[in-house]
Structure 1
Amino acid sequence: MGWAIALHGGAGDIPLSLPPERREPREAALRHCLQVGVAALKAQRHPLDVVELVVRELENNPHFNAGRGSVLTTKSTVEMEACIMDGNTKRCGAVSGLSTVVNAISLARLVMEKTPHIYLAFDGAEAFAREQGVETVDAINFITPENIERLKQAKEANRVQIDYTQPIQMDPTKEKPIVDGDSQIGTVGCVAVDGEGNLATATSTGGLVNKMVGRIGDTPVVGAGTYANSYCAVSATGKGEAIIRSTVARDVAALMEYKGLSLKEAASYVVEECTPKGTCGLVAVSATGEVTMPFNTTGMFRACATEDGYSEIGIWPPSAEN
């Protein structure tokens, strides 16, 4: 048994041709956040503190679809959501529909610790944030030029886009969609376990490009995009509707608890057999310090480290990256 940590920056149709100017800042951010998380675990911080700390770092990075980088709804607004959960106690907190809160994951933790509830959304969540004195900014601060362009491309293609879907633009000469430009940005999450088997998970997102106002994805739904118990901690990413239907995060834990599967076996089964191809990825750690990061999409920005010295930062399957 030993500590372990894993984090992700979203899964989807990430082309192998992703240019360095798009790839390298995200890889650097994952590397930095992994170092932050490892340092916190080595300093014997509780895993709940670790996952919140790491996800805050990811939220503050505009290269990912959370916090500052959150994608836009069909009305050109931002609606952020997040969830955090402690494995041993199953205490959890979730928020949706945030438009001014700088770090949604920290508000989710306050919901867990300062209210009798689990989930607050929209006006109620914003009011609670003001009551708690968390950092807020004008909603316009979350609307980046890049995400304005992403919304424009999604509208032109008349689609709602999963993390990292390649943008589609209209060919003016043929009046049909063509794939062009960079890929979209992804949901973020982190899972951690300490040397005593304490587990925690945290996930944060801006949702889907061109989503309907009021749409809620898998991230804040306990058991779908985010779940932890005494067996494992899981954070999922991808197409929220598919992840909700498959109760992805909870099913990984249930297969371990009721079927006696290992973490790797359980996570692989859920990703490969229970969710449609191209819709899901996850990171997970077990109480004994195992770590796994499966996905059925083209790629998933991911990183992990364990106490025994293993570490990994990747985007595509190992066979594709070699």
Structure 2
Amino acid sequence: MRHLFLLALTALFTAAAPAAAQDTEARWSIAIHGGAGTLDPDAMTPARRAAYEAALQNALDAGARVLAAGGSATDAVKAAIVPLEDEPLFNAGRGAVFTWEGENELDASIMDGRDRSAGAVTGVKSIKNPILLADTVRTDSPHVFLTGAGAEEFAAEHGIETAPPEWFATEPRRESLERMKAQELSSLDVDHKFGTVGAVALDMQGNLAAGTSTGGMTGKRWGRVGDSPVVGAGTYADNRACAVSATGWGEYFIRVGVAHEICSRLRFLRSTNWLTLGNRRVPSGETQAISQLAADAVMNEVKELGGDGGVILVTPEGHALYSFNTTGMYRARATSEGVNEVAIFADE
């Protein structure tokens, strides 16, 4: 796969023509996801599809408004993720899946590409919007990653909004746990999709950010932690390369280090002038193709190991991209150049 990746890059560079002077106009870009997995178009009723599309558009609009007003990428990421955490359709915040013990345990992380500051929390049970706690860890804590009771204590000290257990619990998620136990199924058998939510953004100052939030996997046990709160696996942002948020079978995303791996490949290409070709800049359309190749190559590695899922990413040029190895991923993107798209299935 790496060999094919390099061959594809060589073909792109060979065909590249001299580009015009780089456009210096400030621009912004945002992409969001609501999980990837085995989605069946035949099982998606028009009403249910409309509900998902409306929820995705609402979150996309919230993030885009921040960027269009000149706000920061980190603020846009939070603005987009909060309504997804509040929406029971997704496995994050309200609507999170249940652990084996019948509780909702929440994870989140966020990263600022300017200085690679990051914050993450895992195993919290009363935090209404875990992404806001993760960002407070990033800005107000000397640490990067807080867990369980300690994270809850930190939240209380910083006035983070909480909610009772019934806020997070929904009947469809409870039924999934009961069916899993009764029929001795795996998490994948009852979920069929990964409802993790996330957002990546480029602001008009040229800064990147990424954030991810999840309830984990149905029936998770023994304090299991997936990729979503793990900086470098489920979330990563670096102004020198890209911003990535992932969704999928977390164990595999951790093993590959998916988010960091994608950014690392792109940063390497930039550092070795593969994306500038000396004094000649690679045209924007080709940097988009190169970034897509990098994301696809990493997702193929996940698939080869046996994992599935997807990623969203935004590049310094403002390309908002997706890559997933499943039948669908709830996703949306918008840019200052007028792009506004919401999609669910792979062929859309």
Q: TM-score, normalised by structure 2?
A: 0.83
Alignment of 1:126-275 (within 5 A): 126-162=152-188, 186-230=195-239, 231-259=241-269, 260=274, 262-275=290-303
Q: Which amino acid aligns with 1:223?
A: G
Q: Shift of residue 213 of structure 1?
A: 4.1
> How far apart in 1 are the matches of 2:302 and 2:173?
31
Partner of 2:126: 100
From 319, 322, 334, give the equivalent of 1:305: 334
CA contact (8 A) 1:278 1:297 kept: no
Deviations 1:26-58 (A, max 9, x none): 111001111111111100110000001111111
Helix, strand or coil at the partner of 1:136: coil
Q: Which amino acid aligns with 2:131?
A: I
Q: Which amino acid aligns with 1:15?
A: D
Q: Shift of residue 158 of structure 1?
A: 2.4
Helix, strand or coil at the partner of 2:187: coil
Q: Which amino acid aligns with 2:330?
A: F
> How far apart in 1 are the matches of 2:231 and 2:324?
20
Deviations 1:187-243 (A, max 9, x none): 000000013320000100000011114110000101000000111100000100011
For structure 2, list consecutive stretches of 5 or more residues without a partner in the other structure.
Answer: 1-22, 276-289
Q: Which amino acid aligns with 1:287?
A: P
Q: Shift of residue 266 of structure 1?
A: 1.0
Partner of 2:138: 112
Runs of at least 4 residues off by over 4 Å: none
Q: Shift of residue 308 of structure 1?
A: 1.5
Count of equivalent residues: 302
> How far apart in 2 are the matches of 1:156 and 1:256?
46
Helix, strand or coil at the partner of 1:293: strand
Deviations 1:110-168 (A, max 9, x none): 11111100000001011111111111122232111111101112223423424xx666x
Q: Shift of residue 272 of structure 1?
A: 2.2
Partner of 1:170: none
Q: TM-score, normalised by structure 1?
A: 0.89
CA contact (8 A) 2:245 2:311 kept: yes
Greater mean alpha carbon deviation, residues 24-33 or residues 98-107 = 24-33
Partner of 1:4: 29
> How far apart in 1 are the matches of 2:162 and 2:339?
38
More helix by share: 2
For structure 1, list consecutive stretches of 5 or more residues without a partner in the other structure.
Answer: 168-182
- Distance change in 2, residues 1:160/1:113 (3 Å): farther
> How far apart in 1 are the matches of 2:190 and 2:218?
12
Partner of 1:179: none
Amino-acid identity (%): 43
Q: Shift of residue 184 of structure 1?
A: 5.3
Q: Shift of residue 291 of structure 1?
A: 1.4
Partner of 2:16: none
> How far apart in 2 are the matches of 1:157 and 1:298?
25
Larger radius of gyration between Structure 1 and Structure 2:
2
Deviations 1:260-308 (A, max 9, x none): 4732121111112343466120100001101111100111000001221
> How far apart in 2 are the matches of 1:293 and 1:159?
30
> How far apart in 2 are the matches of 1:3 and 1:105?
21
